[in-house]
Structure 1
Amino acid sequence: MEEGARVAADRHLAGLDLERRALYTADELYDTADYAASYDGRAHAWAIATCGPAEALAEVLHDQAIDEALGAWVRERSVVGVMGGHAAERGSTAYAEAARLGSLLGARHVVATGGGPGAMEAANLGGRLAGLGPDTLDEALRRVAEVPSFRPSIDAWVAAARSALERAPDPRPTLGVPTWHYGHEPPNLFATAIAKYFRNALREAILLQVCDAGIVFLPGAGGTVQEIFQDACENYYATEEAVAPMVLVGRAYWTERLPAWPLLQALARGRPMERHVHLVDTVEEAAVLFA
């Protein structure tokens, strides 16, 4: 009983809500200008400083509440996932391409990402600004590029994002699904709804599951490769009507640098998923497949 009371007090101090009925907003996670003192920072600090059955139960209860809120949020929405490297810096070509992809997809679908920085942030940004025209997106990209990375200052990175948010007072819905497992990477502010989990394995599976309209895979590293084949496994055993499209962007990247495509193509051969896997060179080609 004493242990349970202590954990309850600790998570109360962290501000954790184990009975949420809605997904997070960026303003809830970034509730102070000082990131270390913010809800997101406090939750991460609590997660790494505590361990034991009671703490594990608290995390499970929190993540269950997020599950239920996410299920309600995606209902009646067509969700397209964008997966890609977290290392793409603001101002880079890779970041701009991911943002343009998000903008193209966001015209018809909700854009969902892992909710972190890099290509994930860019795709959420593009999806949020979808329909507002290239000039609006270009101006937002210019504003965030003033602080290319969350290192060394998350606070400066957040401030640049808030400046870009001024370009979308009436945003389209976008989804981020980050995790405190990677607490050193802050969640991006451009997702209008944020399903943040403590348990990364659950978060990975849920993110793929909610992308009912399919997933676009931009160049990335270990995490992106894992997501490709985790998604491929689901499609491999799915019936024809349950298969969701998989689109890999970057022919040279996925056939030479990290040759995931030949294995994916071989895996799909003769299966219902075969006609739903695609390899393209540009984000424009990828977006056409979801039009």
Structure 2
Amino acid sequence: MGGVADQEAGFPAGSDTEIESLAEFDAAAAHATLAGFRVQSVDLTTRTPVLLRTDTAGAVFLGCAMEPDAAAKVRADGALVFPPVPHLPFDPYRGTLYSPAELFEGLGAGYERTPDALSYAWFQRTKADGDIFSSMLRSIHDDAISDALDELLVGARVVGVMGGHAMGRGTAEYEGAAVLGRTLARAGFTVATGGGPGAMEAANLGAYAAPFEDAMLGSALELLAEEPSFRPSVSAWARAAFEVRAKWPRGGASVGIPTWFYGHEPPNAFAGAIAKYFANATREDGLLARSNAGVVFLPGAAGTVQEIFDNATPNYYESRGTPTPMVLVDRAHWTERLPTWPLLEALAEDRPMAGRIALVDSVSEAPEALARMSR
């Protein structure tokens, strides 16, 4: 976001700013020039008269629908125009993150008809076909998502909550992860997860429940337990989540960062903003890098182990400055079933990160451990 804010702050038209809505476009165009602006995925078909009388030299239009005469004039001005790409289930130039309602639009007709499922199907068809155009579209989309995510999280204290997708609704573990998300949100943190089912959904649910009385979370957990898993039916699993959202609207905000690389795992509907990527490596690194207030690792399998050491590496080398806190939950899991903690502890020996890692027995201990290491 930038165009309107910069104009109101007195920056001259032509500074490097982004326009991501009609309101921002109108405010910027009132200065009679769009030079230097980047207009991102805004439908301008109703703004032909404005475009015809406004100087657009030096502007960049990314995926903006325009009437033919307006598009011709803008190009004649010397603006760069990247037209919308037809017949895609996603917008590669989008200026904002996804909402659950957007990704699950059409759920009533079955999950396979939703934009989320259609985008995954497109990815499956194109990911190995060697077509540079398809790979370019994926890259543009993911860069736009990263830009929108950075804009959303400016000034936020972000705690990442990592954990496996297999954690079922109706279990004590799921409830614990939800309480963790609620506790972190009430403490003023922005909860960020991998955006999928299981532990990720539970933490996002907890953040969603933060503004309500404590009893709301218990009631929501009971409703969700009727559809404990996204298998065999994503549709039923997602509908249960939207029933909770409908019963308790305007819940707390949090972020989900899922990927179509693991498209068999649908995004959860409790993250208010969803940064969904095609490239899993970009998604993984981005999630951990933005968790500037620490990361809690709930029990998981290979994916969670990878995330632990993806986060440990910059902490070890201090490549992002002061190491961020890392809390591993469930001593038996991380020392016996998947003995990750001994290696992490050995890496941290005699390094600044030694004071920023902790192993706790239960999820209820994680917030205090985070607070202790952040002092």
| TM-score interval for Structure 1 and Structure 2 normalised by the shorter chain | over 0.9
Matched, 1:258 2:334: no
Match of 1:31 among 87, 101, 105: 105
CA contact (8 A) 2:323 2:356 kept: yes
**Cα deviation, residue 285, structure 1:** 1.0
Larger relative helix fraction:
1
**Cα deviation, residue 289, structure 1:** 2.8
Task: For residues 25-76 of structure 1, give each alpha carbon's deviation from its aligned partner in whole angstroms, at most 9, with x where no partner exists.
Answer: 0011011022111110110111111232111001000001001000101111
Q: Match for residue 53 of structure 1?
A: 132
CA contact (8 A) 1:25 1:194 kept: yes
Q: Match for residue 4 of structure 1?
A: none
Match of 1:195 among 265, 272, 275: 275
Task: For residues 228-274 of structure 1, give each alpha carbon's deviation from its aligned partner in whole angstroms, at most 9, with x where no partner exists.
Answer: 01100010011695211000001111111111111101100111111
Q: Match for residue 197 of structure 2?
A: 117
Match of 1:221 among 301, 308, 327: 301
Count of aligned pairs between the two proteins: 284
Query: Which sections of structure 1, spanning at least 5 residues, go unmatched?
Result: 1-7
Q: Match for residue 226 of structure 2?
A: 146
Q: Match for residue 15 of structure 1?
A: 89
The alignment's TM-score, normalised by the length of structure 2, stands at 0.73
Q: Match for residue 156 of structure 2?
A: 77
Larger Rg belongs to: 2
2:255 & 2:308 partners in 1: Cα distance? 19
CA contact (8 A) 1:140 1:165 kept: no
CA contact (8 A) 2:327 2:370 kept: no
2:365 & 2:256 partners in 1: Cα distance? 24
Correspondences of 1:155-234 after superposition (within 5 Å): 155-234=235-314
Task: For residues 113-159 of structure 1, give each alpha carbon's deviation from its aligned partner in whole angstroms, at most 9, with x where no partner exists.
Answer: 00000000001000111142331110111111110111111111111
CA contact (8 A) 2:211 2:251 kept: no
Correspondences of 1:90-109 after superposition (within 5 Å): 90-107=169-186, 108-109=188-189
**Cα deviation, residue 220, structure 1:** 0.5
SS in 2 for 1:13: coil
CA contact (8 A) 2:163 2:298 kept: yes
Query: Which sections of structure 2, spanning at least 5 residues, go unmatched?
Result: 1-81
Q: CA RMSD in A?
A: 1.8
The alignment's TM-score, normalised by the length of structure 1, stands at 0.94
Q: Percent identity?
A: 50
2:248 & 2:335 partners in 1: Cα distance? 37
SS in 1 for 2:296: strand
**Cα deviation, residue 290, structure 1:** 3.5
**Cα deviation, residue 167, structure 1:** 4.7
CA contact (8 A) 2:192 2:257 kept: yes
CA contact (8 A) 2:314 2:320 kept: no
1:13 & 1:29 partners in 2: Cα distance? 17
**Cα deviation, residue 11, structure 1:** 6.1
SS in 1 for 2:314: helix
SS in 2 for 1:278: strand
